[in-house]
Amino acid sequence: MSLKHAILVLLETEPSSGYDLVKHFKRSLGYFWNAKHQQVYQQLKKLTEAQWVTFQAHSQSDKPDKKIYEITQRGKEELSKWIKQPVKTNRINDSLLVKLYGGHLAPRKNLMQELENHTEIHQSTLENLERIEQLYLSLNEEKKAHYLLPYMTLRRGIIGERAWLEWAEEVKNTLQRQSPDIKKAD
Amino acid sequence: MSLKHAILVLLETEPSSGYDLVKHFKRSLGYFWNAKHQQVYQQLKKLTEAQWVTFQAHSQSDKPDKKIYEITQRGKEELSKWIKQPVKTNRINDSLLVKLYGGHLAPRKNLMQELENHTEIHQSTLENLERIEQLYLSLNEEKKAHYLLPYMTLRRGIIGERAWLEWAEEVKNTLQRQSPDIKKAD
DNA sequence: TATTTTTATGCAACTTTTTGCATATTAGAG
DNA sequence: CTCTAATATGCAAAAAGTTGCATAAAAATA
């Protein structure tokens, strides 16, 4: 849907190779948009066919050859059209919550372990985001203004992760207090 | 992936028609698992073929006929196997954040309006969840214990929505203070 | 020196999700 | 009396996303 547009947003900032884009999806953008490398390459192919982007092959002697993609005029028009239109609220599909909802079918220990594992992941994501925030906050006023909007998305990450961890603590405490098994709903 | 399992979790609690399941996905489960009606019917077909569920046709005189699905022994085994395995962290694909990230391409007013619209949606979702929480809290101790795990997923919704709204306020305040246009990153 | 990681791209097959269409009845609102 | 909403299910096609495989060279680690 808007993986196309996410790619265009990145290319509008800076011409990049597919590999660069994948790295971006793993880092900055990755908190709110996920894409695997195959998907990025597939979409770049389609975007090229639609003439929203073009590329130039760069042969490198020390590393494998790469294709540097850049956004075209047509791509810019499409992006600017997209960005002015209302976006849909995003769909949430969270398996962990499905598992918890049906948690009476799993050993209590298993649930606790699962929560612990996810807590570690969220904890380290949060630390990462906070590290990036510190970098942002140390910039001069001009640069801070420059990166304000990406910073706002970073804030979403930080606030979201803190909320997640707060919730997980609540659940772990509740489950620990509630030792007897809970029967399933009928 | 686990739409199949989400359906099984619901059917394990109570035999239901496809239509009932869709309603469930719009209400209780809907906060953390979304599925359109076509998808539910498609998956029910596949689940039937895999013999994880069976159904009985019920002809109704006043309303259209319906098929009541229930989980089979095989389905229960599969579900219990799935629920003991670790789940992946869920992927987040949030177009609103992509739009904000590339927000220098949109009129500032447009961004503010978009944030307002989403705020209204999240606000009413939160109110809804809080209403359900009140119902839960008014139950007797036995029933509260009974519905503890689904309640934990409700808490995720409440904490998550509050965090979203908190973030949106922060962004709206920041954007209002920051009146001059922000140039794109390079 | 051997192994692993990083850089760099892609095809093919499959599964999942979305979009658009289609049908049919009853209840309620205007 | 007409239109809309709710009940109830589904097909077909397209788009999006996942999984598995494949190649190839340099750089870093053991």
Can you count the helices (H) and strands (E) in chain A? 8, 2
**Residue A29 pLDDT grade (very low, low, confident, very high; cuts 50, 70, 90):** confident
Q: How many CB atoms lie within 10 A of CB A40?
A: 21
Q: Is residue A162 in a domain?
A: yes
pLDDT tens-digit map of B104-118: 999 999 999 999 999
Which residues 100-159 of A have a C-beta within 8 angstroms of B?
100-107, 110, 114, 117-118, 121, 145-150, 152-153, 155-156, 159
Is residue A105 located within the same domain as residue A76? no
How many domains does the structure of chain B reveal?
2
**pLDDT class for A31, splitting at 50, 70, 90?**
confident
Whether residues A59 and A110 share a domain: the answer is no
Domain of B112, in residue numbers: 95-177
**Strand D closer than 7 A to residue B91 Cβ:** yes
Kindly list the residues from chain B whose CB atom is less than 8 angstroms away from the CB atom of residue A160. Answer: 160, 163-164, 167
Chain A contact for B50, CB < 8 A?
no
Nucleotides in chain C near protein beta carbons (<7 Å): 7-12, 15-21, 24-27
Looking at the structure, tell me whether residues B43 and B111 fall in a common domain.
no
Shared-domain flag, residues B21 and B47: yes
Question: Which of B84, B113, B136 is where one domain is finished?
Answer: B84
pLDDT at A63 over 70: no
Torsional sign, CA A93, A97, A99, A101: negative
Gap between the Cα atoms of A67 and A140, Å rounded: 34
Helices (H), B50-186: 73-84, 95-101, 108-137, 141-146, 148-177
Within a domain: B185? no
Range A7-30 burial, b when 16+ CB lie within 10 A, else e = bbbbbbbebbbbebbbebbeebbb
CATH number at residue A54: 1.10.10.10
At residue B185, does pLDDT exceed 60? no
Query: How many other β-carbons are positioned within 10 Å of the β-carbon of residue A115?
Result: 19
Residues A21 and A75 in one domain: yes
Contacts of residue B31 in chain A, CB cutoff 8 Å? 92, 97
Same domain, B77 and B102: no
From the alpha carbon of B66, which nucleotide's C1' atom is closest?
D8
Establish if B149 belongs to a structural domain: yes
Residue A182 lies in a domain: no
Q: Which residue has the tokens 């598992």?
A: A99
**Final residue belonging to a domain, choices A24, A49, A84:** A84
Is the same domain home to A60 and A102?
no
pLDDT one-digit tens code per residue, B146-170: 999 999 999 999 999 999 999 999 9
Examine residue B34 and state whether it is found in any structural domain, yes or no. yes
User: Of the candidates B169, B173, B101, B166, which has an alpha carbon nearest to the alpha carbon of residue A160?
Assistant: B166
Give me the pLDDT at residue A26, please: 87
To the nearest whole angstrom, how far is the Cα of B62 from the nearest Cα of chain A?
27
Residue B184 lies in a domain: no
Say if residue A168 is in the same domain as residue A99. Answer: yes
Domain membership flag for residue B186: no
Query: Which of 81-100 (B) contact A at CB < 8 A?
Result: 83-84, 86-100
Average model confidence (pLDDT) across chain A: 90
Q: What is the spatial distance between Cα B164 and Cα B158, in angstroms, rounded to a whole number?
A: 10
Domain identity same for A103 and A168? yes
Nearest to B153 by CA among B10, B36, B22, B40: B10
D16 C1': nearest CA residue: A1
Q: Choose one of A14, A49, A84: the last residue of a domain.
A: A84
Do A19 and A39 share a domain, yes or no?
Answer: yes
Please check whether residue A73 lies inside any domain of the structure.
yes
Q: Answer yes or no: is pLDDT of B67 > 50.
A: yes
Same domain, A101 and A63: no
In this predicted structure, what is the pLDDT of residue A50?
A: 93
Å from the A171 CA to the C24 C1': 46
Tell me the average pLDDT of chain B.
90
| CA dist., res. B13 & res. A184, Å (int) | 7
**Span A151-167, mean pLDDT?**
97
Q: Decide: A10 and A24 in contact? Cβ < 8 Å.
A: yes
Distance of CA A119 to the CA centre of its chain: 17
Q: How far is the CA of A119 from the C1' of D6 (A)?
A: 42
Confidence of residue A88 (pLDDT cuts 50, 70, 90): confident
